[in-house]
Structures are given as C-alpha cells and as structure tokens.
Amino acid sequence: MERIPRRGALALFAAGAALPVSGCARSSTRGGVAHGDAGSLQWWDHFDPLKSALTGLFDEFEGNVGVAVERTVYNPDSMGQALQLAEGSDQLPDVFTNFFGAPSAALVDRGTVAPVELSDEARRGLEGSLFEGVHTFDGKIFTVPIFSHRQNSTLTWANSRLLEKAGHDAENLPSTWDDFRTLCRDLVASGTDHPWVAPLAHSDRMQEHLVDLAQSAGQSLAMVGSSGNGITDARTGDFPFASEAFLEAFAFLHSLITDGFMLPASTSLDAREARVRWASGEAAFFFDGPWNAGVLNGQFGEFMEDVRVSGPPSPDGRGLTARPPADGQFWCAGRSQRREEVGELFSLLTRSEFAVALAENMDQPPADPHALDRAEVPALYSLAVRLLEKNVRTAPSPVVRNPAVGSVIAEMNDIRPDLGDIIQGYLGGDIDDLGKELTRFNDRLSTERDRAIDVVNDAGGGVSVQDWIFEEYRSGDDFDVTDY
C-alpha cells in the first residue's frame, strides 16, 4: 500500500510526458466484476448509522469464513448514480442495497441480483416473514428483511422545554390535527415564533409525510414501496392522490404554513438540516422516523432529555398508518463470484444477535421486535419503536400478489410534476388549484400504467389492473401473508 502512490506517480508522469499509455499503471487490483482485492468481499450500502452493527457482523464472518468484507458507505444522494454507473461498467460489488430506483422484480428479471443459499437455521428463523415477489422469486431466496415494516417517518418529535414554556404538559403530546394546531398557537404566544420545522426541500420525505397523514385520515392504500408510482387505493386499484383523505392531509400541512407555524427556513431544508434546526431549539415540533433518536443520541446527546415523542397527529387521534411488507435491504450481485460466502453473510443477518446490534444502532427498527428487549438503547428510541409497532399496520402489496406488478412499475415513465413536486408546489404557493392538479396527476399515472401493463403483457407478463385491487382490505387492518 505504501508503495502505491509512488508507482502511481511514476505512471502519471510517464503518461504526461510521452503518452505511451498502456494499462500498466494500475495502482491496485483491478476491480472487474465484484471481486475487488483478492481476499475481500465488496459491500456497498447507504446506511451509515449501521456501522457498528455491521462491523461486528463482518468481524464474525471473517472469523468464520476467512473472508474480509470491504464496506463502502454511500451518501444516499449518490448511491443511485454509483450503482448505475457501476452496473454499466460491470463493477457492481458482491453485495449492495437496492438504490437503483427499480423494483426488485426488475433486478431479478435482468439478472442483476442472484439468489443466495441460507443456512437451515436462518431459513427456520425467517418462516412467515418472507414474501414472494419481495424476498423470494420463483421460490428462491434473494434477500432477507432486516428492518421491520412497522415504521413511518411521521412520528411527532417535540422539544419539551418549549412546550412547558407554553404552559403545556410535555408528557401529553397532541394527537389530533386540531390539538396540534392549538398547541402551535400557544407556542407562538409563548415566544416560539415558528413551532414547526419541516424538510420542504426534501421531496421524498415530504411524500412520506403526506402518505402517512393521509393514511391516518383513513385512506386505505395498497403499496409497493412507500412513495411514488407504487401507491394505489386498495379498494379500487386507482391512484388515490385526489381522494378526500389526501386532500385533508394536504390541507393540514397547508394550514400549518398559512397560520405561520412553520419555520420559514423549512422551504429550503432537507431532513438532516431540519433536524438540526429543531435540535438547536428553533422549533418545537419535527416529524421524523424512529432513527431521529439515534441521530440525536450521536450528535446532540445533551438534548435527548428534552425530547418527547408520539405518533403522527391524525384527525381521529389514533395515528394509524400502514406500510407494505419490508423490502430486503441487501442483495447479492448476479455476477458475484462469492455467492456462497454472501449466503453465509446473509444468514448472519437473520440472527437475533444482529437484530440486537441493529436495535442498538437506533436506525430503522429491526425486523425482530423482541430484539429491543435485549438491546441497550435510550428509552426514547424504545418508546418510538413501540409506538410504531402498535400503530403501523401491514398494507397489502400488489407485488406480492403478482410479482409482474414490479415490472409494470419499473416500466412506467416518471410523470412530472410528480407527487413530491406537487407537494412543494402547493405548499410553496405555486399551485392554486390542488384538486385539479392531483386529478390530472392521477389520470396521467393511470394512462402510463395502462401503457406499462400492455408492454409487460406483450412480453408475457400476465398483469391486469385487478392485481392492484384489495376490496376486502380496510385501513387500520393488517394484511398478512395468508390474506393474499
């Protein structure tokens, strides 16, 4: 390693001076197909908070198998491009997180990902939690869920000191939209000029907020993923964005702005910046997922004791939301030459020790709900996760019913303005007639889906709009693997 720079430098000067460039100046082993250094297994993900959980896992794996894991963490903003460019140049690592923007079914179809062989113990542990079309394809296991699907991004996080200053009991956070607005008014009166901060510039996160709020207002959804083209009305199979519940959710967010409760800077903040603004005491409320506790604990430890959390505010005060079965996070590259080792690595992901380590990383909640009992985590994180366990339901997923739905969604072109654009446009005052805009968006999505269905069926897919309809499903229910 020490000598590499010198060799590199010589090569550069040789190249610069005369340009007889051959491939002689490789400063390290050629990557080629996903096998990096002779000894190591390449692993890319975008979960920087999982460092310690994964490091422990990798150490154990190296002890067992004798293969080191070289992990690269990407910023989620560049993960997608990195994967695309890597795939284009045949450089995918052995393991990666699916940030392609394409549903898993598409990756399976084109051979980007390969099935893995899990240990018997792991298979037994996963019974009942693997879904065809999500984790298994043609009965073969491709990935394992490590996170619970019982989560959302719209927990209410509050700064208790500001609440107390407004004469409010911080242990008792507002559960309805009206309470929330009333409390904001009190906060303004007590000197917190702008009680609520939101990541308005972060369109993915705002979509999640909106969907969570619409669900809490009674919208029943069938979902593939948690945002974008994969969200449909469970009962009709249509795109739901102009429904009453969505309009109410829009109206709630909008009222927070028109009443002046939103920190003005919100319009240009992403979630990371909004969190810090909230943690520094500029605003009292911030909607975020359970990982908020983990980030606070890591960066703003002293602030933790002033933080309170409750479920998303909702019209009825129950704050029920739903998410489809959790995706698997890690996938094995189709051209990996270490599939066997990856299988062993994935088996380790299913063990309860890993779930505990995962819980202790305080990111998304672990798939195994019991892990929390044995994990040493601040009460705030446990509380957030338990709230989610109680109030997040399992939404039906059309992909589970018919994996070809994934291909349809992959085939659909982006419609701009998309939901995120519309949220930004409406909350920012660029869209006046919201109903009209949303109806148009629904229509364009439907047309695009019809086209995509035709394309997929022409290729022998066998999909129909019926696959999106779950008439019997009611919001607030769990749609289990046996219900399909």
Partner 1 sequence: MTTTQAQEPSRDLHARREPGRTRRRPVSDPRARGRGRRRIGRWAQTLVVGALGLLWIYPLLWVLAASFKDSLDIFSGGLGLLPDSWHPENYLRAWRDANFSGYMMNTVLITAGSIVLVVVRCAMAGYVIARFRFLGRRVVLAVLVATMFIPTGLFVVPVVELSDLLGLLNTRTGLVLAIAGGGNVAAVLLYVGFFSRVPKELEEAAVMDGAGFLRVFFRVMLPLSGPVTATVVVLTFLSSWNNFFLPLVFTFSTPQNRTLAVGMMAFQGTNSTDWAGLAAAASISLVPIVLLFLLLQRYFVEGIAGAVKN
Partner 2 sequence: MTSMSRTTEPRAARGAPRSAGEVAVAKRRRPSLWIYVFLAPTVVLFGMYTVWPSISSLVYSTLEWRGLGLERSFTGLENYRRLLADPLFWKSLWITLLIIVVTVPLRVTAGLLLALVLNNPRLPLAGLLRTAFFVPVVATTAIVGFVMGFVLDPSAGPINEALSILGVGPVDFLGSSRTSLWAVMGVHVWKWLGVTLIYWLAALQTVPRELLEAAETDGAGPAARLRHVTLPLLRPFAVIIVVLTVIETMQIFDLVVTMTGGGPFFSTLATEVYIYDTAFGAARPDLGYASAIGVAFGVLTVLLMVVLTLVMRLARRRQEER
- Decide if residue 462 touches partner 2 (CB under 8 A): no
With CB under 8 A as the contact rule, the residue among 378, 425, 439, 440 that binds partner 2 is: 425
Per DSSP, helices labelled H in 19-115 are 51-65, 76-88, 104-109
DSSP characters for 433-470? -HHHHHHHHHHHHHHHHHHHHHHHHHTT----GGGG--
Contacting residues for 172 by C-beta, under 8 A, at least 6 apart:
none
The Cα 199–Cα 183 span in angstroms is 20
- Decide if residue 49 touches partner 1 (CB under 8 A): yes
Site residues for partner 2, 4-43, by CB under 8 A, read: 19
Looking at the Cβ atoms of 347 and 397, the one nearer to partner 2 is 397
Binding mask 285-304 for partner 1 (x = CB under 8 A): ------xx-xx--xxx--x-
- Decide if residue 20 touches partner 1 (CB under 8 A): no
Looking at the Cβ atoms of 150 and 205, the one nearer to partner 2 is 205
- Decide if residue 75 touches partner 1 (CB under 8 A): yes
With CB under 8 A as the contact rule, the residue among 5, 298, 429, 435 that binds partner 2 is: 429
CA distances from 437 to 107, 261, 373, 433, 440 (A): 33, 25, 47, 6, 5
Instruction: Report residue 79 as tokens.
Output: 């993960």
Stretch that binds partner 1, among 142-150, 207-215, 274-282, 377-385 (CB under 8 A): 274-282
Q: Are the C-beta atoms of residues 476 and 393 closer than 8 Å to each other? A: yes
- Decide if residue 38 touches partner 1 (CB under 8 A): no
Site residues for partner 2, 320-349, by CB under 8 A, read: none
Site residues for partner 2, 70-89, by CB under 8 A, read: 80-81, 84-85, 87-89
**3-state DSSP call for residue 373?**
helix
β-bridge partners, 40: 68
317 binds, among partner 2, partner 1, none (CB under 5 to 8 A by kind): none
The Cα 333–Cα 83 span in angstroms is 11
- Decide if residue 378 touches partner 1 (CB under 8 A): no
Q: Is the peptide bond before 240 cis (omega within 30 degrees of 0)?
A: no
- Decide if residue 74 touches partner 1 (CB under 8 A): yes
With CB under 8 A as the contact rule, the residue among 45, 233, 282, 360 that binds partner 2 is: 282
Phi/psi of residue 111, nearest 5 degrees: 75, 15
Residue ranges in contact with partner 2 by CB under 8 A: 19, 80-81, 84-85, 87-90, 100-102, 110, 112, 193-194, 200-201, 203, 228-229, 263-269, 273, 282, 410, 412-414, 416-417, 421, 424-425, 428-431
